[in-house]
Structure 1
């Protein structure tokens, strides 16, 4: 299947479509989504990407991430991919967007405008084994210690945004 990603400008205005692999080969700016699920104990649900993924295989990352389909809004894409990858449904809240550019293995480049969502559920994951190698729950303290000790075992986008994610969720939940 030749999946198309939505190319965007710096303001997230769509400017075209491109095959996903071509966008990663050329480093073209495109729209993405990242979802962070926590349980009621406050532990983050991490996913280990399949070892045979086209990039970042075997690395630990947020609960799920992907690209919206053409004409699909980011909230719908986040909910769709959470169910497809992790078998979970949860009420998702938009947190923030950020843009990043990171060189990956195999000559690929991530250049994404990433829309970040979060939610809370104790629903047990039912992982899609074609996407996910494994999963685990981790406390904030354990996560930050592991990121310091073993940062090479985490995806680039996760390392870029995790501190902002944790701070913004903490700020939001204090005001709820």
Structure 2
């Protein structure tokens, strides 16, 4: 089993209050246990969003396109600290200041793996220009920059190619920009 699946996550109530902890593996077994997560959007100077195609070995929603980076803080860990660490681990992107723009609560079953996402998802945004130079192939199959309106149109046309949380993450960011 992937050792990341044995990391601890923080279980939360629907208001985000910590109520316990369990492993990543256990949190994602049906019917799913609500836990803290984060999703990072990186925006370039032209307003485009960096997407990653999740690696084929991912235990949930493999090969689906998602936001730049996502993951789980450990129990009691600051969300921005965990997100900064995962940006480096997945994309080789360091020292990007992140700001929280909202929280997105969602639940989604992965039909391919039988696993479940049930997350209290902190949406974080940072500015980044260029192309990630140190993409970890165990995490990321590909990256691409996409204009937000084009991404929304693509998700509407072919939702099966995108992680189920991506639309809600983009909506949380767009709402914060109004």
What is the TM-score of this pair, normalised by structure 2? 0.90
Q: Select which of 18, 22, 26 maps to 2:22.
A: 18
1:91/1:123 CA distance change after superposition, 3 Å: farther
Residue aligning to 1:174: none
Residue aligning to 1:104: 110
State how far apart, in whole Å, the 2-side matches of 1:16 and 1:70 are.
8
Q: Describe how 1:119-134 pairs up with structure 2 within 5 A.
A: 119-125=126-132, 126-134=134-142
State how far apart, in whole Å, the 1-side matches of 2:175 and 2:75 are.
31
Residue aligning to 1:141: 149
Q: Select which of 160, 170, 176 maps to 1:152.
A: 160
- Normalized per residue, the structure richer in helix is 1
Structure 2 unaligned segments of length 5 or more: list them. none
In the alignment, does 2:106 pair up with 1:92? no
Task: Count residues with an aligned counterpart.
Answer: 170
How far 1:98 moved relative to its partner?
2.0
CA RMSD of aligned residues (A): 1.3
Contact 1:100-1:110 within 8 A present in 2 as well: yes
State how far apart, in whole Å, the 2-side matches of 1:21 and 1:36 are.
25
| 3-state secondary structure, aligned to 1:25 | coil
Runs of 4+ in 1 over 4 A off after TM superposition: none
State how far apart, in whole Å, the 2-side matches of 1:161 and 1:34 are.
7
How far 1:86 moved relative to its partner?
1.2
Q: Select which of 70, 84, 92 maps to 1:79.
A: 84
Contact 1:25-1:108 within 8 A present in 2 as well: yes
* Structure 1 residues 62-92: Cα deviation after superposition (integer angstroms, max 9, x where no partner): 0000000123111111111111111112111
What is the TM-score of this pair, normalised by structure 1? 0.91
